[in-house]
C-alpha cells in the first residue's frame, strides 16, 4: 500500500461517481475522500463504492498532506479557481473536459502546473478506450496512408446544458480524439461553425464544425442535443484505407475498408494538366480488428499515476486541453459571425494575458457536473 498515491474527488454529480469508482478500484491509487457541497450526494457515492470519507469543504482535501492529487468533476466555469487552488496547495490535478471555460484561464492553469513541477492532466476519456488507442496505432504505422479527411457525428436527445452550448458540451470528445490520433495533433488553421437554437434556449443546441488542419486534412464535426437517435461515429479517410469507428456497436467498433479512389497520373509527365488524371475506384476487403473490452477510465487512472511517478507529461496533458479550447473559442466566434472562418489563436501560453485571480466560491454549485 505504501507505493500507492492518494487522491480526492471534487464533485459528486454526473461524472464524479465514475472517477471515484475507478480510482477506488485502481491498484495505483487510494481514494481518500469525496468532496461535494451536497453531503448526502457525496455520501451516496461513497456508500456505492464500499465507503470512503466525505466532506463538503474543499480545503479538507487541499490542506491534507497525505493527499497527492485531486480529480475535479465540476462545471467548466469553476475549473480555473479550483485547479489553481489545488496547484497552489501542491496537488497534482486531473480535470474533466473542457479544461476551462476560456483559453486564457486554461493557459494560466498549464503555466502554474509547470512552474510548480506538478502534473495537470485533461480527462479526455475517449483517448484511453481500446478503439481509439487502436486507431492511433493504425495511423502511426501508416496503415491508412496519408490522412485526407475526418467526418464525426455525435448526436443524441439531451441533455440541454444550462451554461454551455452543444459545441462546448459534445465537441470536446471528438476534438480530443482527433488531437490524439492525427499526425501533428489538432493543428488547426481555421474553424467555421454554424449553430442553431430552435428551442430558443439562448445557446446553440445543434451545430456543425468544419476544421482546416495545416496538414491538409479537412475535418467535420456534427453535434446535436435534439436527435431522437443516438449516434457516435467517426470516419477517417486515408490514401490507402478508410476507417469507421462506431462506438455504439460493441461487436464491431472498428471497421477498416480497403476501398477508395486512385488518381492515375496523366500522360506527359510533370507538365501535364492534373485535371486530365484518370479516376479509378478501388474495392477491396473489409477488416475489423479484435478489441479488448475494458473501461477507459481505468486507463486514465493508470496514466495519471504513471505521469506523476515518472515525472512526465501525461498523454492528454494541459497542452492538449488548450488545443481543444482554442478550437472551441474559434467556433464560438464563428457562430457569432454567422459561420465566417475564424483563425485559431496561436499564442504560447506564457504570452497570454493573465486572468483575474479568483477564489473558489464556497456557494458554487460544483456538484452539478
Question: In the prediction, which pLDDT does 349 show?
Answer: 47
Question: In the prediction, which pLDDT does 87 show?
Answer: 98
Residue 348 has pLDDT above 80, yes or no: no
Residues 98 and 159 in one domain: no
Domain carrying residue 155: 127-287
Q: By mean pLDDT, which of 26-30, 125-129, 163-167 is the weakest? A: 163-167
Question: Does a structural domain hold residue 341?
Answer: no
Residues 60 and 180 in one domain: no
Which secondary-structure segment (H or E) carries 33?
strand 29-35
Percent of the chain with pLDDT over 70: 89
Question: In the prediction, which pLDDT does 283 show?
Answer: 84
pTM of the full structure: 0.89
Percent of the chain with pLDDT over 90: 81
Cell of 331: 467556433
Could you give the 3-state DSSP secondary structure of residue 155? strand
Number of folded domains in the chain?
A: 2
Nearest to 118 by CA among 92, 95, 80, 94: 92
**How many CB atoms lie under 10 A from the CB of residue 319?**
18
For residues 325 and 320, what is the distance between their CA atoms, to the nearest angstrom?
A: 9
Question: In the prediction, which pLDDT does 206 show?
Answer: 97
Quick one: pLDDT band at residue 282, thresholds 50, 70, 90?
A: confident
Quick one: pLDDT band at residue 160, thresholds 50, 70, 90?
A: confident
Question: In the prediction, which pLDDT does 367 show?
Answer: 41
What value does the mean pLDDT take over residues 142-161? 93
Residues 131 and 120 in one domain: no
Residue whose entry in the numeric block shows the C-alpha cell 475526418? 150
- Summarised one tens digit per residue, pLDDT across range 102-128 is 999 999 999 999 999 999 999 999 999
Give the up-direction half-sphere exposure of residue 54: CA atoms within 13 A in the CB hemisphere.
22
Question: In the prediction, which pLDDT does 359 show?
Answer: 46
Residue whose entry in the numeric block shows the C-alpha cell 472562418? 341
Question: Does a structural domain hold residue 344?
Answer: no
Residues 120 and 132 in one domain: no
For residues 5 and 7, what is the distance between their CA atoms, to the nearest angstrom?
A: 7
> Any long-range contacts for 358-361 (C-beta under 8 Å, 24+ apart)?
358/80, 358/81, 358/84, 359/81, 359/85, 360/58, 360/78, 360/81, 360/82, 360/85, 361/78, 361/81
Residues 108 and 165 in one domain: no
Amino acid at each position: 500500500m505504501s507505493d500507492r498515491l492518494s487522491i480526492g474527488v471534487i464533485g459528486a454529480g454526473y461524472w464524479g461517481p465514475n472517477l471515484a469508482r475507478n480510482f477506488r478500484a485502481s491498484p495505483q491509487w487510494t481514494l481518500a475522500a469525496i468532496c461535494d457541497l451536497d453531503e448526502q450526494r457525496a455520501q451516496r457515492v461513497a456508500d456505492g463504492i464500499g465507503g470512503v470519507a466525505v466532506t463538503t469543504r474543499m480545503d479538507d482535501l487541499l490542506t491534507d498532506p497525505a493527499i497527492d492529487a485531486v480529480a475535479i468533476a465540476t462545471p467548466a466555469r469553476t475549473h480555473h479557481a479550483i485547479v489553481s487552488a489545488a496547484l497552489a496547495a501542491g496537488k497534482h490535478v486531473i480535470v474533466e473536459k473542457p479544461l476551462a471555460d476560456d483559453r486564457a484561464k486554461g493557459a494560466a492553469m498549464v503555466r502554474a502546473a509547470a512552474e510548480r513541477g506538478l502534473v495537470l492532466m485533461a480527462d479526455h476519456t475517449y483517448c484511453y478506450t481500446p478503439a481509439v488507442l487502436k486507431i492511433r496505432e493504425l495511423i502511426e504505422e501508416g496503415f491508412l496512408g496519408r490522412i485526407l479527411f475526418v467526418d464525426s457525428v455525435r448526436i443524441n436527445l439531451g441533455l440541454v446544458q444550462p451554461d454551455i452550448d452543444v459545441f462546448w458540451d459534445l465537441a470536446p470528445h471528438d476534438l480530443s480524439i482527433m488531437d490524439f490520433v492525427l499526425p501533428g495533433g489538432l493543428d488547426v488553421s481555421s474553424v467555421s461553425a454554424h449553430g442553431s437554437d430552435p428551442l430558443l434556449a439562448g445557446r446553440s443546441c445543434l451545430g456543425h464544425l468544419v476544421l482546416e488542419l495545416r496538414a491538409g486534412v479537412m475535418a467535420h464535426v456534427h453535434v446535436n442535443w435534439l436527435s431522437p437517435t443516438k449516434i457516435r461515429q467517426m470516419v477517417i479517410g486515408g490514401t490507402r484505407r478508410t476507417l469507421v469507428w462506431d462506438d455504439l456497436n460493441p461487436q464491431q467498433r472498428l471497421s477498416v475498408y480497403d476501398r477508395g479512389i486512385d488518381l492515375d497520373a496523366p500522360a506527359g509527365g510533370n507538365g501535364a494538366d492534373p485535371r486530365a488524371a484518370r479516376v479509378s475506384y478501388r474495392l477491396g476487403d473489409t477488416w475489423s480488428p479484435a478489441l479488448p473490452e475494458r473501461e477507459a477510465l481505468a486507463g486514465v487512472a493508470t496514466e495519471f499515476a504513471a505521469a506523476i511517478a515518472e515525472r512526465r507529461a501525461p498523454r492528454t496533458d494541459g497542452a492538449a486541453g488548450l488545443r481543444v479550447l482554442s478550437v472551441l473559442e474559434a467556433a464560438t466566434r464563428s457562430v457569432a459571425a454567422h459561420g465566417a472562418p475564424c483563425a485559431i489563436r496561436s499564442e504560447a501560453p506564457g504570452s497570454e494575458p493573465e486572468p483575474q485571480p479568483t477564489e473558489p466560491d464556497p456557494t458554487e454549485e460544483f456538484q452539478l457536473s
